[in-house]
Amino acid sequence: MPYKSRNHIFKDKYYKLNENEVCKTITSHMKFDCNMYIHPTEPRGLTPREAARIQTFPDDYIFYGSQNGWYAQIGNAVPVKLAEIIGKHIIKYLQ
């Protein structure tokens, strides 16, 4: 680990996800280093599609631009299901 001497600063730099726990927040920083989110059973970072699934994007959702751009879009997004629930509550109060 290149940051071994700075573990106290980068506590979660290389974070292996646990498939039995809620994922830590997906951020747009993934575009720089997707090893912040290590796959729970494989020795690699998450793919854009896996990160999108965590953010509850449907599998048929199309991201445009470069792959790094996809990570930024996914990380900057409000999770789809959360936005849906918030929107339904707002509509309920506006009626």
The rounded distance, in Å, linking the Cα atoms of 10 and 52 is: 24
Kindly list the domain boundaries of the chain, sorted by start residue.
4-94
CB 11, CB 35: distance < 8 Å: no
Q: How does pLDDT run across 40-58, given as a tens digit for each residue? A: 899 888 899 999 999 999 9
pLDDT at 13: 65
User: Under CATH, which architecture does the 4-94 domain have?
Assistant: Alpha-Beta Complex (3.90)
Q: How does pLDDT run across 3-13, given as a tens digit for each residue? A: 556 556 656 56
What phi and psi, each to the nearest 5 degrees, are found at residue 90? -65, -45
- CB neighbour class for 18 (10 Å; exposed up to 12, middle 13-18, buried from 19): exposed
Q: The pTM is what?
A: 0.76
CB 50, CB 39: distance < 8 Å: yes
Tokens 């940051």 — which residue?
3
